[in-house]
Amino acid sequence: MRIDVLTIFPSMLEPVLNESIIKRARSAGKVDIRLHNIRDYTLDKHRKVDDRPYGGGCGMVMMPEPIFSCAEAVLKKAKGPKNGRRILLLSARGRKLVQKDFQAFSSYKHLLLICGHYEGVDERVARDLADEEVSVGDFVLTGGEIPAMLVIDATVRLIPGVLGNDDSVKSESFQDGLLEYPQYTRPAEFRGKKTPKVLLGGDHAKIEAWRKKEAVKITKKIRPDIIIGHKQAP
């Protein structure tokens, strides 16, 4: 898989992309992540990427030309079929992403992420370049770099072979519409708090039933919005 990130602050992403699972995935050739500075595609000596909004208003808006030029240069080199590619504009007004979106992203051969900044991005980028505007939550950040890192992390870990055990994602939160069940490890008793006996007994059928019950309980308490309609919710 290839992921290209268009940004005016590429140095923000490097520390995250060069650590932990993402670093190992890059080293193993599971994912090819490239950062592109939008300022390199400006036409003036000041490398200007923003301007005042037409119609007035506060803040500055990112201009379309540098973004289009950067994206077109990347796409020309990346090649590959269009149906194997997805261009995403990270935007506070975009559709809020959920786990199934990252599962879908992980199946693409190529993701191109556009990081907005300032007051926003010229509408022509959203309308004529990006396939979709997406958001990581109902809040506003200073730019799209942190959301881009989140999208990369959530997507790359789902690529087959990236995690040590591919089965580990099957029981994670949101995979089946529930939050993950409680996890315990050694010691069996810590500061008077004991591990549930069912987890120590070795009966896998009972353990599975306990985990499902606890997952439903936790989801109903913390995220009742996502448990509505779940077929196994009591």
Give 83 or 101, the one with higher predicted confidence.
101
- What mean pLDDT do residues 24-53 have? 95
pLDDT on residue 166? 65
Check whether residue 138 and residue 107 sit in a common domain: yes
DSSP 212-227: HHHHHHHHHHH-HHHH
Say whether both 92 and 184 belong to one domain. Answer: no
Residue 24 lies in a domain: yes
Q: Distance between CA 41 and CA 185 in Å, rounded?
A: 52
Residue 159, pLDDT above cutoff 60: yes
CB distance 121 to 62 below 8 Å: yes
User: What average pLDDT does this structure show over 208-226?
Assistant: 92
Q: Is 134 inside any structural domain? A: yes
Quick one: 12 and 95 in the same domain?
yes
Q: Are 122 and 7 within one domain?
A: yes
Quickly state the pLDDT bin for 229 (edges 50, 70, 90): low
Q: What are phi and psi of 3, to 5 degrees?
A: -130, 125
- pLDDT band, residue 119 (cuts 50/70/90): confident
In-domain check, residue 18: yes
Give the pLDDT band (50/70/90) at residue 167. low
**In a shared domain, residues 36 and 146:** yes
11 and 43 share a domain? yes
Domain count, the chain: 2
Statement to judge: residues 74 and 126 lie in one domain: yes
131/180 same-domain check: no
Whether 50 is in a domain gets the answer yes
Q: Supply the CATH number for residue 52's domain.
A: 3.40.1280.10
Are 106 and 155 in contact by the 8 Å Cβ rule? The answer is yes
State mean pLDDT over 173-184: 81
| Sequence-separated (6 or more) residues with CB below 8 Å from residue 123 | none
- Whether residues 106 and 189 share a domain: the answer is no
Is residue 193 situated within a structural domain?
Answer: yes
Percent of the chain scoring above 70 in pLDDT: 92
Q: Residue 177: its pLDDT value, please?
A: 77
Same domain? 90 vs 178: no
Domain final residue, candidates 156, 184, 207: 156
The reply to whether 163 falls in a domain is no
Listed residues 100, 124, 156: the one ending a domain? 156
**pLDDT score for 213:** 95
Model confidence at 47: pLDDT above 70 = yes
Asked if 70 and 136 sit in the same domain, the reply is yes
What would the mean pLDDT of 85-91 be, rounded to a whole number?
Answer: 97
Structural domain includes residue 162: no
Tell the residue number behind the tokens 């300022």, with chain if given.
39
pTM of the predicted structure, to 2 decimals: 0.86
Domain that holds residue 116: 2-156
Neighbours of 67 (CB within 10 A): 25
pLDDT at 174 over 70: no
Looking at the structure, tell me whether residues 26 and 108 fall in a common domain: yes
Out of 156, 180, 205, pick the residue that ends a domain.
156
Residue 233 belongs to a domain: no
